[in-house]
Amino acid sequence: MVLDWAKQLVATEFRVFVEAAERQLLLLFRSIDRDKDGRLNKEELRAAFRRAGLAVPMRRLSGFFDKIDKDNDGFITFEEWRYVLFCFGLADFQRDRWMGGPVTAM
């Protein structure tokens, strides 16, 4: 009986964590989406990296963008953004997995 209560508590805490993380991802997505059309283009993503103080060569930015843009329509939707960041997490980005090499500070 105690185990069932503990499982329920963990499930509830996990749901709260996921909901909070999704809200943060949405806020970040919206801050990058400068034209407010509900999707990101390469220039918006490049500008976001610049604002974060990162110099990302266009070749690497394009590769990163293409990995997230699963339907290859030239835009990143929130669903694509959320899927990649939830499934792979920021740790993979920090290990250069998605950028094809190190990213330098400006």
3-state SS of the chain: helix, strand, coil percent to 5? 65, 10, 30
Q: Can you give the pLDDT at residue 11?
A: 81
**pLDDT of 75:** 97
Three-state secondary structure string covering 30-95: HHHCCCCCCEECHHHHHHHHHHCCEECCHHHHHHHHHHHCCCCCCCEEHHHHHHHHHHCHHHHHHC
CB 69 within 8 A of CB 80: yes
Residue 101's domain is classified under what CATH number?
1.10.238.10
Q: What is the pLDDT at residue 88?
A: 65
Q: Give the model's pLDDT for residue 43.
A: 96
Range of the domain at 32: 2-105
64 exposed, middle or buried (CB, 10 Å; 0-12, 13-18, 19+)?
buried
The pLDDT value recorded for residue 37 is: 98
How many residues in the chain?
Answer: 106
pTM: 0.73
Q: Give the closest residue to 84 by CA, choosing from 43, 11, 28, 37.
A: 28
- When divided into structural domains, the chain yields a total of 1
Locate 66 and state its tokens: 């293409």
pLDDT in tens, the chain (106 residues): 556 766 776 788 888 888 888 899 999 999 999 999 999 999 999 999 999 998 889 999 999 899 899 999 999 999 999 888 777 665 555 545 545 555 555 5
